[in-house]
């Protein structure tokens, strides 16, 4: 199942924006994935992301959903970014109406996606049979209500992925025989990076470095994650006016130079690659971003003997939240949702690391076997 089931290309009629929808596979006529917007997005990247989503749904124990992804090559900070997103989603409506469920991803907001769907009376994308299922309809109402709920200082939907990554990191670190929280560097400070940093701080880890689109900030004694979150801007960028005197500000290209135990890439794809893979100092990488390590970079990580919790194991929180609530797998309560995500993330990580140790194999190679998608259904008639 290496080839995607469906690829759709879109060219904007008002800007130079270009976009793609890729469905890797359908399960029961349904597929889910986010929509990202960034100037560097390519068709190949969206294909890789859609494949990762298919693996991720298997890892999240879903029996209802295949993997898809959408990507738009455009600056998400541009004044007309929402209008570009809107035109892209309008072009995708024929696919959305038959069961391609698009959400948000890097550079887009879920509320903006839903705003477009509501404009065209789509709501949450469903298949025909799901639209006629009363239990699914109840799940949608529950899910919509939960989008406005909070856990700690975050909206629930902004926390589920980052918290899940933190649970995976904690489980992997403990598996390695470490009883005390280690030093963490996080690359990317949007919803995922910020919520992951917050939860790891709660779990006793010392976040010694965070990079965003502009800078890298480090502190050997540990950063005040809550304060950084309280004062970041809408693009997930930190405000230096609120930095402590002992914080060191560096260029964000130096994030691999910071001494740490755990490295968490939380933003773009292929940020660890052939050119910089040898610089990784951490003994554990937990992939909060999708495909943050290139194929050539991964060869270096594997050769160096660095342990990895790969993306579709670590960052499944958002899709598990969606599936678990809409299909009635958990009680529609923020803590129940998070407890379910913690259970799943810790179980998958423990099983992956246990089996990798038993077989003396690299975790990513084994994960690709354990969670390989095998179902390729057709669109529901």
Contacts of 82 (CB under 8 A, 6+ apart): 112
325 φ, ψ (degrees, to nearest 5): -80, -50
Residue ranges matching CATH 3.40.50.10860 in the chain: 6-132
pLDDT in tens, 327-363: 999 999 999 999 999 999 999 999 999 999 999 999 9
Beta strands in the chain (DSSP E): 6-11, 18-23, 31-38, 66-73, 100-104, 150-151, 154-155, 183-187, 206-211, 215-218, 248-251, 262-265, 284-286, 307-309
Which is it for strands 18-23 and 150-151: parallel, antiparallel or unpaired? Answer: unpaired
**How does the average pLDDT of the chain come out, rounded?**
95
CA-angle at 43, arms to 373 and 189, nearest 5°: 80
pLDDT in tens, 69-123: 999 999 999 999 999 999 999 999 999 999 999 999 989 999 999 999 999 999 8
CB atoms within 10 A of CB 62: 22
186's tokens: 């996080």
Residue 268 C-alpha from the chain's centroid: 10
CA-angle at 265, arms to 150 and 233, nearest 5°: 50
In the chain, what percentage of residues exceed pLDDT 70? 100
Which is more confident, 233 or 174? 174
Picking from 57, 26, 62, the residue whose alpha carbon sits closest to that of residue 381 is 26
Picking from 137, 142, 205, the residue whose alpha carbon sits closest to that of residue 168 is 205
Instruction: For residues 362 and 285, give the distance between their C-alpha atoms in angstroms, rounded to a whole number.
Output: 12
pLDDT in tens, 120-144: 999 899 999 999 999 999 999 999 9
Residue 173 has pLDDT above 60, yes or no: yes
Residue 1 has pLDDT above 60, yes or no: no
User: Quick one: average pLDDT of 32-57?
Assistant: 96
DSSP 8-state class, residue 352: H
CB atoms within 10 A of CB 221: 10
Residue 9 has pLDDT above 70, yes or no: yes
Are residues 86 and 108 in contact, defined by beta-carbon separation less than 8 angstroms? Answer: no
Domain formed by 6-132, architecture: 3-Layer(aba) Sandwich (3.40)
Active site includes 281? no
pLDDT in tens, 254-273: 999 999 999 999 988 899 99
Instruction: Classify domain 154-370 at the CATH topology level.
Output: Rossmann fold (3.40.50)
Alpha-carbon torsion, ordered 194, 112, 342, 261, to 10 deg: -30
Instruction: For residues 112 and 82, give the distance between their C-alpha atoms in angstroms, rounded to a whole number.
Output: 7
Residue 51 has pLDDT above 60, yes or no: yes
Compute the residue count for the chain.
381
Residue ranges matching CATH 3.40.50.720 in the chain: 154-370
- Cβ burial, residue 137 (10 Å; 0-12/13-18/19+): middle
User: Quick one: average pLDDT of 9-26?
Assistant: 98
Residue 168 confidence (pLDDT): 98
Q: Which of 69, 183, 206, 232 is catalytic?
A: 69
274 φ, ψ (degrees, to nearest 5): -60, -35
Residue 179 confidence (pLDDT): 73
Residue 217 has pLDDT above 60, yes or no: yes
Are residues 204 and 236 in contact, defined by beta-carbon separation less than 8 angstroms? Answer: no
Name the pLDDT band for 178 (thresholds 50, 70, 90): confident
């Amino acid at each position: 199942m290496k080839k995607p089931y469906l690829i759709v290309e879109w060219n904007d009629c008002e800007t130079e924006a270009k976009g793609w929808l890729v469905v890797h596979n359908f399960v029961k006529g349904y597929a889910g994935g986010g929509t990202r917007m960034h100037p560097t997005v390519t068709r190949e990247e969206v294909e890789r992301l859609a494949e990762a989503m298919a693996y991720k749904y298997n890892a999240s124990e879903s029996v209802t959903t295949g993997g898809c992804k959408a990507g738009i090559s455009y600056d998400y900070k541009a004044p007309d970014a929402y209008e570009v997103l809107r035109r892209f989603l309008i072009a995708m409506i024929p696919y959305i109406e038959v069961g391609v469920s698009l959400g948000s991803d890097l550079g887009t907001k879920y509320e903006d996606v839903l705003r477009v769907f509501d404009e065209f009376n789509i709501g949450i994308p469903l298949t025909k049979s799901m639209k006629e299922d009363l239990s699914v309809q109840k799940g949608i109402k529950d899910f919509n209500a939960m989008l406005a709920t909070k856990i700690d200082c975050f909206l629930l939907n902004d926390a589920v992925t980052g918290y899940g990554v933190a649970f995976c990191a904690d489980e992997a670190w403990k598996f390695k025989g470490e009883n005390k929280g280690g030093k963490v560097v996080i690359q990317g400070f949007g919803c995922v990076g910020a919520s992951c940093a917050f939860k790891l701080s709660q779990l006793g880890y010392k976040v010694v470095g965070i990079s965003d689109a502009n800078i890298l900030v480090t502190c050997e004694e540990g950063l005040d994650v809550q304060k950084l979150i309280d004062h970041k801007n809408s693009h997930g960028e930190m405000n230096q006016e609120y930095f402590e005197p002992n914080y060191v500000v560096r260029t964000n290209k130096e994030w691999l130079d910071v001494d740490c135990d755990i490295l968490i890439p939380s933003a773009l794809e292929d940020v660890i690659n052939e050119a910089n893979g040898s610089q990784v100092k951490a003994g554990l990488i937990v992939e909060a971003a999708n495909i943050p390590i290139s194929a050539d970079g991964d060869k270096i990580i594997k050769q160096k003997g660095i342990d990895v919790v790969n993306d579709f194991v670590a960052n499944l929180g958002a899709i598990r939240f969606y599936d678990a609530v809409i299909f009635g797998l958990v009680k529609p309560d923020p803590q129940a949702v998070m407890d379910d995500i913690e259970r799943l993330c810790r179980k998958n990580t423990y099983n992956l690391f246990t089996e990798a140790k038993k077989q003396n194999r690299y975790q990513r190679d084994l994960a690709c076997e354990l969670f390989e998608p095998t179902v390729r259904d057709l669109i529901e008639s």
